[in-house]
Amino acid sequence: MPGSAVTRRKFLSGVVATAATFMIVPRSVLGGQGNIPPSETFGGALVGCGGRGGGTIGQLGEAVRRLASCDVRFLDKADNKETYADFRRVLERKDIDIICIATPPHWHALISIAAMQAGKDVLSEKPATRFIAEGRALAEAEKRYGRIWQVGTFGRYGAVRDRGSILTHKIMASGLLKKCEAVHIHAGGWKVKEWSGLINAQPQPVPKNLDWDMYCGPSPLRPYHPHRIGGTHRGYWDYEGGGLADMGQHYLDGVQWTYAKDETSPVEIEAHAPPAHAEVIGMWGWVEMKFADGLTYVFDTGEWGPRYDRLKGRGVGINDLAEEDRKKVLAMPDPEPWPQFLDAVRTRKKTGGCAEAAHRTATLMHLANIAIRVGRKIQYDPVKEQIVGDDEANRLVYQPMRAPWHL
């Protein structure tokens, strides 16, 4: 109030004395056990308020005050300072520190980059991106704007506490293993049939509360059908990448760290699948990915065709090293655990699921889907981040965006 002699320091001390009148300050203002003071909370906004959205922002607890909600289905009730249909209006607000993104993945990268450019920290649902080039743009934006970005999967946080994973990480990161023949096989759980799309879906009227043009955004403007929104959006190349993209970031984020592959990608990818539809995601059986050092990942669904039977899975052990190298690895200190999202926001240190690591994990799913779509083995350059000698496949690395949206 103008002319008031009350300073913030006096206010937070618990008692304010003005002309012999005392104000008792609630514990919620002071903080303490079970209470977070306002000085330690953040203004937050949720973009994408469907089935997963509430959990995305809800996991941050009372430390993040939800000040705004944004969804393309709010067209009939936006904008009113709490509810929006266009994420750009949310980013204009100075009282919002954190953006939580739970839209379909074709929006993840663009909203993340715009949010970081606007000075916001970002927690984004998985997968990090819809195609490979988006991931590189995302990682560069994180560096350029100095923001905290984390993908909403926490598999690597368990890996960094597991003694077996830590030892494997040390072995792989040491560079002392001359030839790696290990195979990681993930069998089942890929939701292939569940997230297959509808090939002959007939156009339907767009609901009045839905901004269909904004929903499609950077993807092609297709005729509306309800199967293209909600969880079933995963069955269409325009928005996601089927069960691979849905589950892969969960399954493989910790694996990437364990095998020290956070800064590289496979060089050879082969898929066993029927011919793919141009727009609709369908069935596949298995995918084999080989890294330059020989490490092989195998994804085996059990939902289509014969099971994978080429290689037998095994791990990386300390006995794979010469005796002198074993001593060096065992003497290596354990890696420091990363801060999780809110701690990273407070300390300005990168999270375990930072943009570079999330990009490399998402690249696994994108490469697998590219091999499925073109129906042949592909070669990949993990430095240039391009597919080698295959123009058709390489066009899926950097997919065109519908104007005016662009990276």
Q: What is the pLDDT of residues 214-233, one digit of tens each?
A: 999 999 999 999 999 999 99
Residue appearing with tokens 């759980």? 189
Strand 42-47 versus strand 15-18 pairing type: unpaired
Give the mean pLDDT of the chain. 91
Residue 23 has pLDDT above 80, yes or no: no
What's the pLDDT tens digit per position in 187-200? 889 999 999 999 99
Nearest to 50 by CA among 76, 73, 68: 73
Q: What is the pLDDT of residues 337-391, one digit of tens each?
A: 999 999 999 999 999 999 999 999 999 999 999 999 999 999 999 999 999 999 9
Task: Supply the pLDDT for residue 312.
Answer: 86
Going from N- to C-terminal start, the domains of the chain cover 23-155, 157-394
23-155: CATH architecture: 3-Layer(aba) Sandwich (3.40)
Which two structure tokens, joined as six digits, stand for 389?
Answer: 């000698």
Tell me the whole-structure pTM to 2 decimals.
0.90
Q: How confident is the model at residue 54 (pLDDT cuts 50, 70, 90)?
A: confident
Q: What is the DSSP string of 52-91?
A: THHHHHHTTGGGEEEEEEE-GGGTTT--SSSEES-HHHHH
Class of domain 157-394 as given by CATH:
alpha beta
Query: What pLDDT, on the 0 to 100 scale, is given for residue 8?
Result: 34
